[in-house]
Structure 1
Amino acid sequence: MHSFWIIFKQAFLTKARTKSFIITTLVVAASFFLLANLSNIIALVDGEEDETDVLHVIDSSGELLPLLQEQLAAAGSPVEAVPAEKTEAELREGITDGSIQAFLELQQEGQLSARYVSESANGMGSAGAVEQAVQSLQTVLAAEQLGLEGAEVAQLFAPVAFEREAVSASSKSEEELNQSRGLVYILILLIYVAVIYYPNMIAMEVANEKSSRVMEILISSVSPVKHMFAKIAGIGTLGILQMAVFGAAGYLAIKTAGTELGGGMSDVFGFSDVKISTFLFAILFFLLGYFLYAVLAALLGSLVSRTEDVQQLMLPMMFLVIIASFIAFSGIAVPEATYVTVASYIPFFAPLVMFLRVGMLEIPLWEPLLSIALMLATIGVLGWIGARVYRGGVLMYGPSQSLKDIRKAIRLGENK
């Protein structure tokens, strides 16, 4: 057991001390603080530009500009509409040299028409606010022409009371779906990244030890099976630690940004009222998905002698993860689809797809438990096969880029 912990510690510390791991962790953690403060940064930039956010309006009638100013003020827009004191040619020249941002020409010949001129036509900046204000102005003018009063206009544009009700017993309400959809999406993305990144790290580590002939020294003092599971446990612990750092960074970013979890972006992404069971299932499926693919990655990594050959032999595993992610992300819109239900019981797809169903639907407890049991059984079978392949695979050198070498590795391990 002492040798197990030595390899465990070596696998953990070797990767934890690499520059790539440290830089990746710091960059991702810093990005959380950037995203959490993004609204503050945008507000700061907008605040600096408030003084120059002036819209020059060409209004030959002299009657439309005051009405436009009223609509902009009612919408709380930072755009300040002022009468143009220059010709159109001079205004265009001002846009070119950067002295003004945009100008608007208003005309009313039976129906209101507007022409917004700016440096770029991508619709960013104040263009959207101006377009909404002009649209509101058109509504006001049309109401006056039809003789409608303000209350009648408000009644005309009042939103309809539209509710959604699902007949299926497993379906959640629209409010519950909105509360969980964003969180499920983010956690699926994390699980997807984890089951690709960390098992690939194991395969590269094993192949690197074989290429440097360190493996020959290691297996002379510890069994290949113990070596394999120590590697899996060490890098798995590193993955859990890194995910914990990301989670803590995200939480602190939200707290330091002064953002309330009960409103704003948290409502959009569904963090306002999420069951604790969703987080527990996320951790469970993360661990099961990791061990499932980690055993497979160690098995494949033991077959190659050069790190350059790892990616080619890992392609089948990558395809499994990619297919699982496609099913999961497409299933967010239709979690009750038959193909999603079937895929949630396939062990290699279950970490992503069954977690999707748990987060998005009210399914009986036996369904995720059955999926978990199938995953545990698959991990056991893969562990047994992987141990036999690993025992012989670590002794194989030379070109080895085919899955057919698994049989050769098993025979070599049995003769060892």
Structure 2
Amino acid sequence: MNKFMTTFNLTFFSKIKAKSFIFTTLIIIAGMFIAFNLDKIINLFNSDDEALMLEVDAEESFLTVFEPTLASFDDTIEIVDSDGSATLEIVSTEPLQAEIRMDEEISDTREQNIQLALNETNRAYVLQTLNLSEAEISQMYEEVPVDFLVASEEGSGGFEAADADETNILNMVIFYFSVILMFIILISYASQIATEIANEKSSRVIEMIVSSIRPTQHLMAKIFAMIAVSVLQIVLITIGGLIAFYFSDTTELLDQFGLEANDQTLKIIIYCIIFVILGLILYLSVSAMLGSFINRMEDLQQGLMPVTFLSMIGYFIALGGISFADNIAVTITSYFPFFTPFVMPLRLLVNDTGHAPMIIGIVIMIITIIITLLLAGYIYKRSVLSTESGIMKNIKRIRK
């Protein structure tokens, strides 16, 4: 046990002291501070904060409709009688045609808001020419009521209201962040652990190492050290995110982007953390196993191709399946252990997904991780002193 801890501590502390670990962690935390204060940063560079004095050259009847309409689209534009920095001239009312003269250019947002207000005013003018009553005008703008019904599960031939599965934006953001974070850390540490193991074998340092510690014990110490480093980085990023959230006034940001929690939010946070950790453990174990086949650094990238391909497929399924989270293809792939950490949390975006699929996915991953670790130890013990130059030759040697 002492030899295991010696190898574990050596690998663990060398990794957390590395500049790549420190810089990556700080950059991600800094990114979260920026994200939580995005509205304030936008306001710093937003010239729309300063009111625009708009002089309108039009009849009083036009102003009566246009002024409140414009205020509903943009309250930073103030209509004045004279000395405005921009002048809106109504060239014609049938059809409505306008021209704006400015002392200096205004933002695209303000241009769009003025355009929208003019469109709405023009619509009101057209409705007036049709001599419609207020009731008829209101009826034109009313939303058509539609009842969406599905066949009753009881088989009675009746229909019942369909469940509304509107995707929550905040839950989607949490899911995206967890998947992207896992993919970045996974690719980084998978390469690191495979490189360390392959480098020891190619430099023949392993001959001295195995003379004082059992090969399987040495491998497991390295795997668990890398797992601990990756989990520590996730914990630090999570703590940094919570600090950024606590010290940032996110109320306006949440309102601006429509981010509201629902009854699935806490569940998706917990399961995303669990699947990110399990995903890292699984892929790091596989990377260590693949690194055991490699005796030359030139074969490293070829040896890691399965990890790269599997993680990329899972990553793209997760990102591409966001619009059909309840599809049968998503359900099936969520139970394939190498795709489970990417795809299973995606199913939580559907409101009727319960705990049972998540627990099944966790059990499948734990079983796969145990099998992978046992297989990695077996392969490493049989190939640790191998001098074969090719991966396929090493595989054939292990099978003997």
TM-score by length of 1: 0.79
Report the AA paired with residue 74 of structure 1. Answer: S
For residues 223 and 54 of structure 2, what CA distance do their matches in structure 1 show? 62
Q: Does 1:137 align with 2:137?
A: no
Q: Does the 8 Å CA contact 1:68/1:134 hold for their aligned counterparts?
A: yes
For residues 265 and 58 of structure 2, what CA distance do their matches in structure 1 show? 60
Going from structure 1 to structure 2, the CA distance change for 1:233 and 1:133 (only over 3 Å counts) comes to same
For residues 308 and 105 of structure 1, what CA distance do their matches in structure 2 show? 72
Equivalence map 1:239-388=2 (5 Å): 239-260=230-251, 263-264=254-255, 267-268=258-259, 271-274=261-264, 276-307=266-297, 309-363=299-353, 365-388=355-378
CA shift for structure 1 position 365: 4.5
Cα deviation code 1:322-375 (max 9, x no counterpart): 111222223322222121121122111112222322453534654333333332
Query: How high is the sequence identity, in percent, across the aligned residues?
Result: 30
Cα deviation code 1:357-404 (max 9, x no counterpart): 24535346543333333323322332222112222444345744x4x2
For residues 161 and 263 of structure 1, what CA distance do their matches in structure 2 show? 30
Of residues 113, 136, 139, the one that matches 2:97 is 113
CA shift for structure 1 position 177: 4.8
Report the AA paired with residue 72 of structure 2. Answer: A
For residues 294 and 45 of structure 1, what CA distance do their matches in structure 2 show? 43
For residues 197 and 28 of structure 1, what CA distance do their matches in structure 2 show? 14
CA shift for structure 1 position 155: 4.7
Equivalence map 1:44-193=2 (5 Å): 44-46=44-46, 50-51=49-50, 53=52, 68-80=66-78, 106-108=90-92, 110-114=94-98, 124-148=108-132, 153-160=137-144, 173-174=164-165, 177=168, 180-193=171-184
Q: Does the 8 Å CA contact 2:289/2:379 hold for their aligned counterparts?
A: yes
For residues 75 and 298 of structure 2, what CA distance do their matches in structure 1 show? 57
Of residues 195, 207, 216, the one that matches 1:225 is 216
For residues 107 and 232 of structure 1, what CA distance do their matches in structure 2 show? 75
CA shift for structure 1 position 250: 1.7
SS across alignment from 1:113? strand
Report the AA paired with residue 390 of structure 1. Answer: Y
TM-score by length of 2: 0.81
Between 1:301-310 and 1:347-356, the stretch displaced more is: 301-310
Report the AA paired with residue 77 of structure 1. Answer: D
Going from structure 1 to structure 2, the CA distance change for 1:138 and 1:163 (only over 3 Å counts) comes to same
Q: Does the 8 Å CA contact 1:179/1:274 hold for their aligned counterparts?
A: no
Going from structure 1 to structure 2, the CA distance change for 1:175 and 1:361 (only over 3 Å counts) comes to closer
For residues 229 and 125 of structure 1, what CA distance do their matches in structure 2 show? 58
Q: Does the 8 Å CA contact 1:166/1:172 hold for their aligned counterparts?
A: no
CA shift for structure 1 position 139: 2.2
Going from structure 1 to structure 2, the CA distance change for 1:369 and 1:41 (only over 3 Å counts) comes to closer
Report the AA paired with residue 314 of structure 2. Answer: A
Q: Does the 8 Å CA contact 2:286/2:376 hold for their aligned counterparts?
A: yes
Q: Does the 8 Å CA contact 1:198/1:294 hold for their aligned counterparts?
A: yes
Going from structure 1 to structure 2, the CA distance change for 1:259 and 1:202 (only over 3 Å counts) comes to same
- Corresponding position of 2:41: 41
Q: Does 1:407 align with 2:389?
A: no
SS across alignment from 1:258? coil
Cα deviation code 1:73-106 (max 9, x no counterpart): 23343234678999xxxxxxxxxxxxx8x88664
- Corresponding position of 1:93: none
SS across alignment from 1:264? helix
For residues 409 and 56 of structure 1, what CA distance do their matches in structure 2 show? 86
SS across alignment from 1:3? helix
For residues 187 and 63 of structure 2, what CA distance do their matches in structure 1 show? 58
Runs of 5+ consecutive residues of structure 2 not aligned to the other structure = 154-161
For residues 116 and 218 of structure 1, what CA distance do their matches in structure 2 show? 79
Going from structure 1 to structure 2, the CA distance change for 1:20 and 1:172 (only over 3 Å counts) comes to farther
- Corresponding position of 1:95: none
- Corresponding position of 1:20: 20
Report the AA paired with residue 11 of structure 1. Answer: T
SS across alignment from 1:247? helix
SS across alignment from 1:126? helix
Report the AA paired with residue 235 of structure 1. Answer: M
For residues 393 and 305 of structure 1, what CA distance do their matches in structure 2 show? 9
Runs of 5+ consecutive residues of structure 1 not aligned to the other structure = 87-99
CA shift for structure 1 position 320: 0.8
Report the AA paired with residue 75 of structure 2. Answer: S
- Corresponding position of 1:7: 7
For residues 225 and 149 of structure 2, what CA distance do their matches in structure 1 show? 48
For residues 166 and 117 of structure 1, what CA distance do their matches in structure 2 show? 56
For residues 261 and 116 of structure 1, what CA distance do their matches in structure 2 show? 32
Q: Does the 8 Å CA contact 2:178/2:273 hold for their aligned counterparts?
A: no
Report the AA paired with residue 73 of structure 2. Answer: A
Cα deviation code 1:154-191 (max 9, x no counterpart): 5532445567677799x974367556333333333333
Going from structure 1 to structure 2, the CA distance change for 1:365 and 1:41 (only over 3 Å counts) comes to closer
Q: Does the 8 Å CA contact 2:165/2:350 hold for their aligned counterparts?
A: no
Going from structure 1 to structure 2, the CA distance change for 1:178 and 1:302 (only over 3 Å counts) comes to same
Going from structure 1 to structure 2, the CA distance change for 1:124 and 1:322 (only over 3 Å counts) comes to farther
Going from structure 1 to structure 2, the CA distance change for 1:362 and 1:292 (only over 3 Å counts) comes to same
